[in-house]
Structure 1
Amino acid sequence: MTFELHRARGPFNAAFFSIMGPYIEWNVRHHKGRVFAGLPPTVVELGSGVGANLRYLSPGSTLIAVEPNVAMHRRLRAAAGRRGVRLDLRDRLAERTGLPDRSADSVISSLVLCTVSDPAAVLAEVRRILRPGGTFRFVEHVAARAGTPTRALQRALRRPWAWTFEGCSCERDLAASVRAAGFTRVELEPYRLHSPFVTFNTQIAGVAHA
């Protein structure tokens, strides 16, 4: 299992999230602020991208960043330097982080489980690397309720959306996936954004406890 960097999509996504990051962050800031509050000194992040979540780490913290899109790496390193966060950058997939069993106090992700090839495998990997009592904290976009206009639009745009955003799916019931992953407790809140990116507007945020 490998990540194949498309010569156009990889750089496009790095540029897109650098430009649109502040707008996306403004929309989800309250939800991220709640679930990412009080992160420990060392955090594992799946799909760190260009560093949108560095603001939730204290200066001097260490981020173990699992990010297979090398087009993101330059911007991620620069963002970590600006935030005073030590960066341990891993060019690996979320399904296979290469980290030891029970080695992480906290794993975070935002807008990542929609893109991975196998969400169940990623969640199993998260459980493997979390210490007992550790937390998986997430903000993700999910499928809208069946029969709604948003759901119909998600279905209509699924192929061009996935092609543009490195396989991203708007049709996953990630709340069910997290609940079925074997965590001891899951606290999860569904919510809706009000943005022009309608297919992106149905989201969840939560904390799963190992």
Structure 2
Amino acid sequence: MTVNQPCVCANCGKRLFAWLMAQGDDVYDKFISDRKRSLFANLHGNVLEIDPGTGPNLPYYPKDINLIGIEPNPFMHSYLKKEAQKLGFNNIDLRTSTAEQIDAEDNSIDAVVSTLVLCSVPNLAATLQEVLRVLKPGGSFLFIEHVAAPQGTLLRQVQSTIRPIWKVLADGCHPDRETWIALENAGFKSVNYEHFKVPVPIVSPQIIGVAIR
């Protein structure tokens, strides 16, 4: 007698997460648009985005940059390519690698971009070392990241409590990661950032800034 085993889809979580990201978040996108427009206004040359997802940053990029996307989730690729073509980025170089092992040469990138990504990388320190490796001397790391709420607050307690289930639901995201400390200790020549609040539970507060190699 054959016992039917339940069908297990190892990629279902990544496929679902890609679909959810493609739906967007109108509240957050509207809130963050001016900050993105200001942060990305002076991008030039070779620009590498870590985990560009479905392309929410593309509308804010200058059209004359050479754009490289490092996106490890293959189910994001079709959404990203569609958005890139719609906005005129027909030559985007999409590579399937990870933030801890960026598929790019040493000292080859003018700017690296990361938005809502450093919360979910398995090894934050290794990721920042990869950013430093691929950046040209004087190159910029531009980031917008959600981070841990202040110690002792109710929000910080909630972030820490829900972390195990949140990591499963949100593709590895750590809602209580003190990312700004890792940035300060990574070895950049300078790190400038500010904290700000967003009207979205759990993924607030956030930081925005620029680190220079």
With the shorter chain as reference, the TM-score category is over 0.9
Structure-2 residue corresponding to 1:15: 19
Structure-2 residue corresponding to 1:73: 77
Identify which of 44, 57, 60 aligns with 1:53. Answer: 57
Amino acid at match of 2:208: A
Deviations 1:136-167 (A, max 9, x none): 00000000001111111111211111101111
Amino acid at match of 1:152: Q
2:89 pairs with 1:89: no
TM-score for both structures, normalised by structure 2? 0.91
Contact 1:39 1:56 in 2 (8 A): no
Structure-2 residue corresponding to 1:156: 161
Identify which of 168, 173, 177 aligns with 2:178. Answer: 173
Amino acid at match of 2:98: L
Shift in Å, 1:104: 0.3
Contact 1:60 1:84 in 2 (8 A): no
2:195 pairs with 1:202: no
SS at match of 2:196: strand
RMSD of equivalent CA atoms: 1.4
Shift in Å, 1:6: 4.1
Tell me the number of residue pairs that the alignment of Structure 1 and Structure 2 aligns: 204
**Distance (Å, rounded) in 2 between the aligned partners of 1:100 and 1:34:** 28
Superposed structure 1 runs of 4+ greater than 6 Å apart:
none
Contact 2:107 2:135 in 1 (8 A): yes
Amino acid at match of 1:205: I
**Distance (Å, rounded) in 1 between the aligned partners of 2:21 and 2:97:** 20
SS at match of 1:126: helix
TM-score for both structures, normalised by structure 1? 0.93
Structure of higher CA gyration radius:
2
Contact 2:43 2:65 in 1 (8 A): no
Identify which of 27, 34, 41 aligns with 1:37. Answer: 41
Please identify, of 130-139 and 27-36, the stretch whose mean Cα deviation from structure 2 is larger.
Answer: 27-36
SS at match of 2:114: strand
